[in-house]
Amino acid sequence: MQQAVDIPLKISQSAALLEVVHSAIGLVKSPVAITAMQVASRIWCLWGIVVPCAATVIPQGLLTAGQQAALGLPGWANINFITLMTAWACSEVIRYGFFALKEAFGTPPYFATWLRYTAFMVLYPLGVSSELTMAWRALPDIKARGLFSSTLPNSWNWGFDYHLVCVLVMATYIPGLPQLYGYMLTQRKKVLGGGAAKPKAKAA
């Protein structure tokens, strides 16, 4: 399973950095800060957790319970990987599908609009919980290997503890998710719930 999604996952998620650029230069109307938060969490989870700690956080195929136990993987390891891929993939298909239909028809079909502004209610919590679980599972490995870390003394006279950075990044999810979720709820109300009140008809 890992081999099947390896290259497409790296390309698609890394290319999402262009979304921040597009927002910053005004090509799209999405807020830069909100877009950057969303993209940054995935980039960090992919390149800072999943790729360097793949042997720890990703089962090599759908393992049996006995195989997972032999490798020291918890019983939910397969499920966590599947939920992460499901959340990321469904979010992108729905969002970019909506944009494609909007470009093609001007006004996208209602089902695409409804999915764009409703599916996040399940996919956001699913994605965030999966990302955090991946990171939590990787923490012991990161600390044991000293991944991306630099201890003193060294020629640069500078220390860096990536394990601590990961813990701090995980902590930012606490205020970050409500902000992203609240923004999408506001957008959903504007698009699907009527948003601003309609102007009253003039009296005859």
- Which tens digits make up the pLDDT trace of 8-26? 889 999 999 999 999 999 8
Q: Does residue 68 fall inside a structural domain? A: no
> For the whole model, what pTM was predicted?
0.82
Look at 88 and 59; give whichever has higher pLDDT.
88
**Which one is catalytic: 92, 124, 173, 181?**
124
Query: Which pLDDT value is given to residue 73?
Result: 57
SS3 (DSSP) at 150: strand
pLDDT (tens digit per residue) in 70-121: 655 555 556 888 899 999 999 999 999 998 999 899 899 999 999 999 999 9
92 included as an active-site residue:
no
Across-strand partners of 150?
160
> 162 with 149: CB under 8 angstroms?
yes
Q: Does residue 197 fall inside a structural domain? A: no
Q: Does residue 153 fall inside a structural domain? A: yes
> 35 with 23: CB under 8 angstroms?
yes
Q: Does residue 150 fall inside a structural domain? A: yes
195 contacts: CB under 8 Å, gap ≥ 6: 189
162 included as an active-site residue:
no
**With pLDDT > 90 as the criterion, what percentage of the chain qualifies?**
59
Please state, as a whole number, how many other Cβ atoms lie within 10 Å of the Cβ of residue 67.
13
Structure tokens at 24: 């910053």
> 39 with 17: CB under 8 angstroms?
yes
Q: Does residue 105 fall inside a structural domain? A: yes
Please state, as a whole number, how many other Cβ atoms lie within 10 Å of the Cβ of residue 152.
9
> 166 with 139: CB under 8 angstroms?
yes
Q: Find the domain containing 179 and state its range.
A: 2-61+73-191
SS3 (DSSP) at 176: helix
Q: Does residue 203 fall inside a structural domain? A: no
Structure tokens at 196: 């601003």
Q: How far apart are CA 24 and CA 36, in angstroms?
A: 10
Q: Does residue 204 fall inside a structural domain? A: no
Tokens 């999915």 — which residue?
115
For the chain, the domain total comes to 1
Q: Does residue 200 fall inside a structural domain? A: no
Tokens 């600390």 — which residue?
143
